[in-house]
Structure 1
Amino acid sequence: MTSSERVTESKKVWTTLITNTAYLSGLLTLDYSLKKHNSKYPLVALYTDAFPPEGHAALEARGIPKQRIEYLLPKNGGKDYSNDPRFYDCWSKLAPFSLIEYERVVQLDSDMLVLQNMDELMELELDAPEVAGKGQRVFAAGHACVCNPLKKKHYPADWVPENCAFTSQHNTPEVAQTTGPPPNTSPLGFMNGGLQVVNPSSGVYNAILDHLSSDAAINMDFADQSLLSDLFKNRWVPLPYIYNALKTLKWEGVHPQIWRDDKVKNIHYILAPKPWDEMDKEGNFISKDATHAWWVTHNQERLRGEKERGIKVDGF
């Protein structure tokens, strides 16, 4: 288990994993967006030993609390992710289940941007920690989109639109704004790990570690997402897409039928390039993806505010 000391007074926190500086601009703008939209709860950066000194300095300069976690990997080495190396880091996104010093943790990916207050996730009903993963509401998350719109050849062959939970909502787009399809809507029953609502629990975390140590880890195509979808099959609470609005859902040919710009509370900039990779030297928007402009606008606001507060320009 990880440290049992809170790094903030709040017993309910947002967390995000950071292992290097590639996502640091994303983390800083995520933190800014939570504060801009008046969240009552702090963002805690969960860092591993590989996180460099300049990253720590950037967090400290902005007053963002940080907490060390162990870098998680399957004991048998797990699947070869050479086609998608980002998944090696994703195992450590299971750490929030171990943070029993907090009552509620909502894990966010650092390539997310909060567009509306979503503090209600801190009150969402889940199984109590002592249920130890035996109940029907172990955690909450959004569905994965299994359409594979970029047609990545190393993705599973059954990742096709007809197996996607979001496809089931095309004829009921208004319902999609408030209700997630049941976990078993898709034959794959797959969640996306970008946002996870968790009641930390020693029992749940030990079950996760046991599964991580098993031979099953060799066949987990998507690291933490595969593990949670398999270990707690159909026993998680499905959130509507608005809390983990995968940017690809808006694309033509994916799920534009359900997407509503004004309903999205949290956009997830999955895949590459990231918004911070598509700016000119002055930090202006140059992407073809209109949703990237939302991130750039927030980032520019953040940088202006930091300048006014005298925070040293550090490139993040």
Structure 2
Amino acid sequence: MSDGLRPAAPARGRLAYVTLVTNADFALGAKALVRSLQTTRTEAEVCVLHTGGVPGDSLAPLADLGARLVETDLLPTSDAFNAAHARDRIHGLAPFTRGEKPAFHTPLDNFCKLRLWQLDYERVVFLDADTLVLQNIDRLFHYPEFCAAPNVYESLADFHRMNSGVFTARPDPATYDRMLARLDAPGAFWRRTDQTFLQDFFPGWHGLPVFDNMLQYVWFNLPELWSWPDIRVLHFQYEKPWQDHAKADRLRPLIELWRAYERGEDIPDPATLPGPRA
């Protein structure tokens, strides 16, 4: 295992779903994610990268579910880079105008996602901790690096930009080293943190169907695109389903689905759920 990573156990195979947990809130999200993956009967390992900011009692449920825990250091970035990507500065220069990021959102921590290229797997599928996997997606392990879905949640104009909540990758320390060199170049500023960086690093990224990363705002912005039988990954971008927030009533069916996975009880067949127009 590379420097900066401390696994709690050895890898159990060459394929893994990987997520990143940086605080107790995202650990709660990861609990529902891990359970959703297990519901699909995948044979791949589930690996949780976690920073030192996550309490042990928040990680325990993930270990109990069988996830492999790998503690990660923050990236060895310069003071100038850290200052440029501090929460107050980055949210001021790149404000979120369509939704609200929760108070526990820490932009600098997002870059720890790049640590997955140091992991001891041959192929991984990365999933943000605020996603649910509703159908088996093991086919993605056979897709090339780098595949991601477009950041579609408002209009067709969104197709030019990728969303880094779901993507395919091939761990390789050499790739990680090249990433770090480009990431922290003099004067570098990545407007949407890891998302902007990954699109720049992989300019020829392969597009996945939106159903492999269906953003929750599609529910009310593009209801004609929503199709429960086709959705494989549901992504709670912006506001999180475990929060009280202004859009909760509009997103209630999605939130109730997330809660069922988090509890591990009364999980419905998503394909049978009514659509947004019902």
What is the TM-score normalised by the length of structure 2? 0.79
Say whether residues 1:222 and 2:192 are aligned partners: yes
**Residue in 2 that maps onto 1:8:** 11
Percent of aligned pairs with the same amino acid: 25
Which residue, 198, 207, 211 being the options, matches 1:238? 207
Distance 1:46 1:4, change over 3 A: closer
Q: CA deviation at 1:72?
A: 2.4
Which residue, 156, 165, 176 being the options, matches 1:205? 176
Distance 1:263 1:303, change over 3 A: closer
Matched ranges for 1:124-163 at <5 A: 124=143, 126=144, 138-145=145-152, 147=154, 161=155, 163=157
**Residue in 2 that maps onto 1:268:** 235
Alpha-carbon distance in 1 for matches of 2:137, 2:111 = 25
Q: CA deviation at 1:12?
A: 0.3
SS at match of 2:171: coil
Q: CA deviation at 1:295?
A: 0.9
**Residue in 1 that maps onto 2:262:** 299
Alpha-carbon distance in 1 for matches of 2:13, 2:230 = 28
> RMSD of the TM alignment (CA)?
2.5
Distance 1:81 1:50, change over 3 A: closer
Say whether residues 1:34 and 2:5 are aligned partners: no
Q: CA deviation at 1:50?
A: 2.1
**Residue in 1 that maps onto 2:118:** 98
More deviation in 288-297 or 12-21?
288-297
Distance 1:256 1:142, change over 3 A: same
SS at match of 1:228: helix
More deviation in 261-270 or 46-55?
46-55
Larger CA Rg, structure 1 vs 2 = 1
Q: CA deviation at 1:226?
A: 0.7
Q: What letter is aligned with 1:91?
A: F
Q: CA deviation at 1:56?
A: 3.3
Contact 2:260 2:266 in 1 (8 A): no
Alpha-carbon distance in 1 for matches of 2:127, 2:12 = 20
Cα deviation code 1:45-85 (max 9, x no counterpart): 11112222212333333332101222126422233432364
**Residue in 2 that maps onto 1:277:** 243
Contact 1:97 1:202 in 2 (8 A): yes
Say whether residues 1:81 and 2:87 are aligned partners: yes
SS at match of 2:48: strand
**Residue in 2 that maps onto 1:46:** 49
Alpha-carbon distance in 1 for matches of 2:257, 2:195 = 27
SS at match of 1:257: helix
Structure 1: state its 5+ residue gaps: 127-137, 148-160, 166-185, 280-285, 305-316
**Residue in 1 that maps onto 2:22:** 19
**Residue in 2 that maps onto 1:288:** 250
**Residue in 2 that maps onto 1:135:** none
**Residue in 1 that maps onto 2:158:** 164
Distance 1:242 1:268, change over 3 A: same
**Residue in 1 that maps onto 2:274:** none
Cα deviation code 1:84-127 (max 9, x no counterpart): 6432221111111222x210111111111111111111122x2x
Alpha-carbon distance in 2 for matches of 1:257, 1:73 = 44
Q: CA deviation at 1:162?
A: 6.1
Contact 2:11 2:121 in 1 (8 A): no
Contact 1:146 1:163 in 2 (8 A): no
**Residue in 2 that maps onto 1:196:** 167
Distance 1:98 1:297, change over 3 A: same
Alpha-carbon distance in 1 for matches of 2:31, 2:188 = 32
What is the TM-score normalised by the length of structure 1? 0.70
Structure 2: state its 5+ residue gaps: 92-100, 268-278
